[in-house]
């Protein structure tokens, strides 16, 4: 076999493995969406039915019309959106400022602070549930959406600081010094020079924060008592009953819950590409 043939064979093998990994990752999502349009007899059958033979919108109609716990499904979607967007906005701001301070300034305890961030990131969120619950109670935020925003900001902040620190450190400091020489203030330099260059990293941290807050179940379940403050993951739990599980409604609700995440990713991905191009031009 010639070297060129071996190279082509290796490329084909790598592409085949990539396709298999892609199918393995996408199959659960496909099964969720297809099950939302299947009739109950097709959902509970032992036969493999890849596509619904008869499409039905009964599960989606039941989720929209009946609601959950006596409330409209849009209420829980709105609560999830408030928590996720609040986490992204507040967490991204603190992460960017913290990453800039760590990457640009040298101060006592800097290395220890970075180690603490790593340690906090390695601790499971479930292990922090009781102390977070007590802190929220003492702050008077129990049963408020603000408590979920504060908790998710605290849980996603270490990852955001570590990722943005790398982006900030990769920006040459000479660019900021050139702006200072031209008469720009530190704040102007931060927003017009540094911020566009680290925008791709900010987008990545925003995606992570959004998905973490949007999909959270444990914190929303224990920090919220009023059903009007439940988020979508908690609302879906109502379809699990003692007499059975309404899998059709669960799959329909999960499909609806996935749509905002996909839309957010597509919108932010476009901004990430524009941020990369803007950074290259400014550089």
* Annotated domain spans of the chain: 1-56, 68-282
- Tens digit of pLDDT for each residue in 169-199? 888 888 888 888 888 888 888 888 888 888 8
- Answer with the residue of higher pLDDT: 79 or 1: 79
- Tens digit of pLDDT for each residue in 193-209? 888 888 888 888 888 89
- The residue assigned the tokens 């939302």 is 36
- For 110, phi then psi, to 5°, come to -65, -45
Looking from the CA of 129 toward its CB, the CA atoms found within 13 Å total 13
For the domain made up of 68-282, give the CATH fold.
MetI-like fold (1.10.3720)
| Nearest-angstrom CA–CA distance, 175 and 160 | 23
| Nearest-angstrom CA–CA distance, 77 and 72 | 9
| 3-state secondary structure (DSSP) of residue 16 | helix
Q: What is the DSSP letter of 47?
A: S
Percent of the chain with pLDDT over 90: 25
């Amino acid at each position: 076999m010639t070297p060129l043939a071996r190279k082509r064979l290796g490329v084909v093998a790598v592409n085949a493995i990539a396709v298999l990994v892609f199918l393995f990752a996408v199959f659960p999502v496909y099964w969720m969406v297809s099950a939302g349009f299947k009739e109950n007899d097709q959902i509970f059958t032992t036969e493999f039915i890849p596509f619904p033979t008869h499409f039905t919108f009964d599960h989606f109609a039941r989720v929209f019309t009946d609601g959950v716990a006596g409330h409209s499904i849009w209420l829980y979607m709105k609560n999830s959106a408030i928590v996720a967007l609040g986490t992204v906005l507040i967490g991204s701001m603190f992460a960017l400022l913290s990453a800039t301070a760590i990457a640009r300034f040298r101060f006592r305890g800097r290395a220890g602070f970075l180690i603490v961030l790593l340690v906090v990131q390695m601790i499971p969120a479930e292990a922090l549930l009781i102390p977070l619950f007590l802190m929220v109670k003492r702050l008077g935020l129990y049963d408020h959406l603000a408590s979920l925003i504060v908790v998710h900001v605290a849980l996603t902040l270490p990852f955001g600081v570590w990722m943005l620190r790398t982006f900030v450190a990769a920006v040459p400091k000479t660019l900021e010094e050139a702006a200072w020489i031209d008469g720009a203030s530190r704040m102007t330099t931060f927003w017009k020079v540094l911020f566009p260059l680290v925008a791709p990293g900010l987008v990545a941290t925003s995606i992570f924060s959004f998905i973490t807050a949007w999909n959270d179940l444990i914190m929303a379940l224990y920090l919220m008592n009023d059903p009007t403050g439940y988020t979508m993951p908690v609302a879906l739990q109502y379809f699990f009953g003692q007499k059975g599980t309404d899998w059709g409604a669960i799959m329909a609700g999960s499909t609806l819950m996935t749509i905002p995440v996909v839309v957010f990713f597509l919108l932010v991905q476009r901004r990430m590409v524009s941020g990369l191009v803007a950074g290259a031009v400014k550089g």
